Chains A and B, each alone.
Chain A
Amino acid sequence: MLKRGGILAFFPLAWMIVFFVVPTVLVVLLSFRKRGTLGEILPEYTLEHYRRLADPLYMGILLDSLIVAAAVTLLCLVLGYPLAYHISRQSRRRQRVWLFLVILPFMINFLIRSYAWVILLRAQGVVNTALMKLGLISQPLPLLYNDGAVLLGMVYGLLPFMVLPVYISLERLDRRKLEAAYDLGATPLRAFRHVTLPLTMPGVLTGATLVFVSSAGMFVVPEVMGGAQSALIGNVIQNQFLSARNWPFGSAMSVVLTLASLAMIALMYRAFRTAGGKEPI
């Protein structure tokens, strides 16, 4: 079996080593290289980029970004779970239709979708105009260019990363266990809390991982929907490559962001394990 398994894994492993491990090592090495005055990479090694990162400015932004990512993950879970639940309770044919409808908006370019939100939410936008015509408000609400708008944009963009894995685990849920809980007089909420949720935890963790890491490095949404002071770590990293021309510093920042995200995810899995769950990965 193991031998067969080895053959099974040869191509995927080789692929990931060539296209992921090797390039990653190259970038980690880059984060220790000295930067030339013009932004060129010098053949000397240094720790200065990591020392510079210890600056409370960068650490503060990193912390902010992780908090935002955690909030986005939580919101995606709370908003996405009921949707996934509903889809999984449909007939097979209707499940396909629902899945398709959930995915459909994501066929449109992310940037274009973000601009569509701008059209909806800006001062003279669709939502504000409608509310004012209805006489509910007299002044346009500031729906855009603030941190709330950044949260909205991220949650919107990342929702399918939560809905799909949760749906997968719900679809496979053993209904008999749930019926048993009801037969024993459990209320729907208790049945959900003690049966459904624990059994779908693998899907939740998968979704949370995908959403968390994608939002931690996000830069398009803060740029398009955020205000003047909404820059997150993704924007700062982006700037190192696209304006400050400091590739080694940008690489160092990416390395630290990745390690911080990994630590957060490890914590999440650990909390799950101590709660007695089954390892999904």
Chain B
Amino acid sequence: MDKRRFARPLSAAVLMMALALLIAGCGGGSKQTLNVFSWTDNFDEEVLEEFEKQFDAKINYNTYSSNEELLAKLQAGDSQYDIIQPSDYMVGTMIQLGLLEKLNKANIPNAANIVPTFSAPPFDPTGEYSIVYTWGVTGIAYNKKYVTDEIDSWEDLWNPAYKGKVVLLDDSREVIGMALIKNGFSNSTQNPDELRKAVDDLKALVPNVLAFDTDNIKQKFIAEEVWIGTLWSGDAAFVQAENPDMEFVVPKEGATIWADTIAIPKGAKNKELAEKFINYLFDPEVSAKNFESIGYGNPNEKSRPYHSEEYLSNKTIFTSDEDLARTEWLVDVGDMLQEYDRYWTELTSGH
């Protein structure tokens, strides 16, 4: 038998390793390192580079794709991260679990730049642990080419004319919360009867739903695979830029508001540098540049003068105060979460 046939996988492996080392090889040095753990594309690249230059530091930017993944990493201890970006309800949970450091606001004077609405949100009432980094509302997005009726209520999703063309977020709290709001209840109810009523309502909707989707929902709207569905306002702005037929409304019954925050996990090795980083991000000019690039809602009031007209006039990104008055935060529902999950399993498995 041909012994040399070992050589092929071996040399391929050696070549690949060489390539890997070549690519991984650059870098090094003894700079301070800031380990950032966040959502993907949550910063403008230039903004990060500028920070590295100004503060002679290296940023290690790592990503997660759900709050619970972040929580799992932190709970395992020794997370090695300096900056994290949990969403609203997760901040509340993390505070209760003792996973967050208190921010030293003396090092973050720019924290005062954000709008008062977000300075003491219900999930962090004293504002000691987190600062709202970006925010949005879950509303209805629809394509006016196919949806010609006026859309102003969650009820419209149930319209049989849209059978098979409805998409809902792949998130139990968002979807059940939506049905709760539609029925006039709180989106975080702990009342089992209210919950059951909302779920029964959803069971009538599910046969019309093409899919539950969070990751690829924008493509579904842009490619016109769906006509109507629930969507986050930041994503809706993205979709509108690609498909001018898209509309976004905050229904009259109310809607869920959400925020991603910035915080420092317990035991962070570079707390001071992390605070410098936060302060840098909330600098009005930096902040404007950052949000022009990532396209989500900027809560930084002082940065308005530096934003483009186009960004500021975008009604999808900047929900009107009138709409905002009807919104509600999702809060932790404690042990009821298991009930929510069981209903969610029923809805998505068809059992």
A-B CB contact pairs (8 Å), 8 listed? A57-B346, A60-B349, A224-B216, A227-B210, A228-B348, A235-B349, A240-B341, A246-B341
Q: Mark A153-180, 1 if CB is under 8 A from B, else 0.
A: 0000000000000000000000000000
Of A96, A123, A231, the residue contacting B225 (CB under 8 A) is A123
Known contacts: A37-B335, A229-B350. The answer to whether A245 contacts B68 by CB under 8 A is yes
**Within 8 Å of chain B (Cβ to Cβ): is A115?**
yes
- Known contacts A229-B206, A246-B337, A246-B338; 14 additional CB pairs below 8 A are A38-B334, A39-B71, A57-B342, A57-B345, A145-B210, A228-B209, A228-B348, A239-B345, A241-B72, A242-B66, A243-B171, A244-B340, A245-B337, A246-B341
Which 7 residue pairs are nearest across A and B when measured between Cβ atoms?
A229-B350, A244-B341, A231-B348, A228-B209, A242-B68, A231-B349, A37-B334
Contact present for B349 and A228 (CB under 8 Å)? no
Is there an interface contact between A243 and B173, defined as CB atoms closer than 8 Å?
yes
Contacts of B346 in A (CB 8 A): 57
Interface size class of B (residues with CB under 8 A): 35 or more
B11 interface residue, CB < 8 Å from A? no
Q: In whole angstroms, how far apart are the Cα atoms of A239 and B168 in the complex?
A: 17
Query: Which range holds the interface residue count of chain A?
Result: 35 or more
Give the docked Cα–Cα distance between A224 and B209 (Å). 14
Chain B residues close to A by CB (< 8 Å): 2, 8, 66, 68-69, 71-72, 75, 93, 96-97, 164, 168, 170-173, 206-207, 209-213, 215-216, 219, 223-225, 332, 334-335, 337-338, 340-342, 344-351
Of all chain B residues, the one with the shortest Cβ separation from A114 is B216
Report yes or no: B335 in contact with A124, Cβ–Cβ below 8 A. no
The complex places the Cα of A35 from the Cα of B72 at a distance, in Å, of: 14
Q: Which of B334, B345, B347 has the most CB of A within 10 A?
A: B345
Contact surface of A with B, Cβ cutoff 8 Å: 37-40, 55-58, 60-61, 64, 92, 96, 115, 118, 122-124, 142, 145, 223-224, 226-232, 235-236, 239-246, 249
Q: Which residues of B contact A123 (CB under 8 A)?
A: 225
Residues of B within 8 A of A235 (CB): 348-349
Distance in angstroms between the alpha carbons of A240 and B347 in the assembled complex: 15
Q: Which of B72, B164, B168, B211 has the most CB of A within 10 A?
A: B211
A232 to B349, CA, bound (A): 7
Cβ distance B169 to chain A, nearest Cβ, rounded Å: 12
Closest residue of chain B to A147 (Cβ to Cβ) is B350
Whole-angstrom distance between the alpha carbons of A246 and B96 in the complex? Answer: 17
Residues of B within 8 A of A227 (CB): 209-211
Complex CA distance for A55 and B346, rounded to whole angstroms: 12
Nearest A-chain residue to B337, judged by Cβ: A244
Which residues of chain A have C-beta atoms less than 8 A from B66's C-beta? Answer: 242-243
Judge whether A61 and B216 touch: CB under 8 Å: no
Q: Shortest distance in angstroms between A113's beta carbon and chain B's nearest beta carbon? A: 14
Complex Cα gap A230–B66 (Å): 21
Given contacts A124-B225, A241-B68, are A228 and B212 in contact (CB under 8 A)?
yes
| Cross-chain contact A38 with B223 (CB below 8 angstroms) | no
8 Å CB contact of A57 from B75, B164, B207, B351:
B351
Contact between chains at A145 and B172 (CB < 8 Å): no
What distance in Å separates the Cβ of A31 from its nearest Cβ neighbour in chain B?
15
How many whole Å from B88's CB to the nearest CB in chain A?
15
Inter-chain contact A38/B332, CB cutoff 8 Å? yes
A145 touches B216 (CB 8 A): no
Docked-complex contact B351 and A122, CB < 8 angstroms:
no
Residues from chain A with Cβ under 8 Å of B170 in the complex: 223
Most buried by B among A55, A239, A245: A245
User: Given the complex, which residues of B lie within 8 Å of A61, measured CB to CB?
Assistant: 345, 349, 351
Q: Which residues in B have their C-beta under 8 angstroms from that of A39?
A: 71, 93
The residue on B at minimum CB distance from A96 is B8
| A115–B213 CA distance with the chains assembled, in angstroms | 13
- Bound complex: CA of A60 vs CA of B351, how far in Å? 7
For A123, the closest partner residue in chain B by CB is B225
Bound Cα distance A257, B213 (Å)? 25
Residue from A96, A142, A223, A239 in contact with B341 in the complex, judged by beta carbons closer than 8 Å: A239
| Residue pair B349, A229 in contact (C-beta under 8 Å) | yes
Are B348 and A124 touching (Cβ within 8 A)?
no
